[in-house]
Amino acid sequence: MNKLRTLAALLPFLAIVSCSKEYSDEAGNPNSNCRVSSIAVAADAISSSGLYALNTKFNAANQATAVEAYDSATNIADFTTSLSYKGDTVLTTVNEFFVLDVSKKVKKFFTPIDPSNPAGEKAVYDYKYDGSNYLIEKTISSASVPLPLVNIQYTWVGGNLMKVVASVNQFPGGSVKLLEANMEYDMSRQPRNFIYIFPDAFENFFYLNALDFGKKPTNLIKKISVVYYDNAGVSQGTFETFLSDVKFNNEGYVTEWYADGTSFDPLGIFLGRTLFSYKCN
């Protein structure tokens, strides 16, 4: 669906710059390590079936083994892959892989710049964390060009991701803004081990529940505002999403919410009701 189109729209830009359908509701218990295993979006109130589902499968050691994005509108899998682990490397599709640091957080991601040419030049995503394990910077470069082409900065306040700013570097100097996102939170509510809130998650949307990208926000997200810019740095408008009607189970895990406003694909937030299911050890 739109996630793939969004990703496909970003990577060619980089190239120019560089010359189960099924899900379960597992409640778990307060002493278990529960992780979001399924997100069913645009779910109806009667059957709880969603138009789109992102499913992550885990083994007994709580290690992600597979990811499937299922599109009920077309009745086919939009994306499916298995994850295999070799040392510090996580192999996904044939031409994509992640590299982990010593604490198992994602350090690098390699993926084709041009999706239509899987064996071609690779885009390299580098992830940097602070001493508290919050993601604070991400850069995008070409494997053959060591200089960052795109730089993304993350600002955290009180354990919550408040701002994301992405800029395209111009050579020999200067930059042009690509994206700016601002988030607001309900400071009175703290969901247990919920989802990452990365409004720029074009490259890793499918893997956000599978891999470790550092700490997650402390409080409950309630509003996301995103401004996109064209190649000249001119704003293309503001897109806002409001989250409400959030439900928790007895153990503090979010089980559903309602999104209104403007859908923002990289986060997997669509208008309407979304259900969250968990795998607990």
pTM of the predicted structure, to 2 decimals:
0.85
Q: Which residues have CB under 8 Å from 197's CB, separation 6+?
A: 161, 183, 216, 217, 221, 224, 267
Q: What is the DSSP string of 98-157?
A: EEE-TTSBEEEEEEESSTT-TTSPEEEEEEEE-TTS-EEEEEEEETTEEEEEEEEEEEEE
In single-letter form, the type of residue at position 178 comes to L
pLDDT of residue 43: 60
Q: Where are the domains of the chain?
A: 2-280
CB contact at 8 A, 183 and 169: no
pLDDT of residue 31: 52
What are the average pLDDT values for consecutive 10-residue runs of the chain, which has 281 residues? Answer: 36 38 39 84 62 89 92 78 96 93 97 86 96 97 89 98 95 88 97 94 92 97 94 89 94 93 67 89 79
Tokens of 130: 């602070």
* Fold adopted by 2-280: Porin (2.40.160)
Q: What Rg, from alpha-carbon coordinates, does the chain have?
A: 18
End-to-end Cα, the chain, rounded Å = 31
Q: Which residues have CB under 8 Å from 234's CB, separation 6+?
A: none
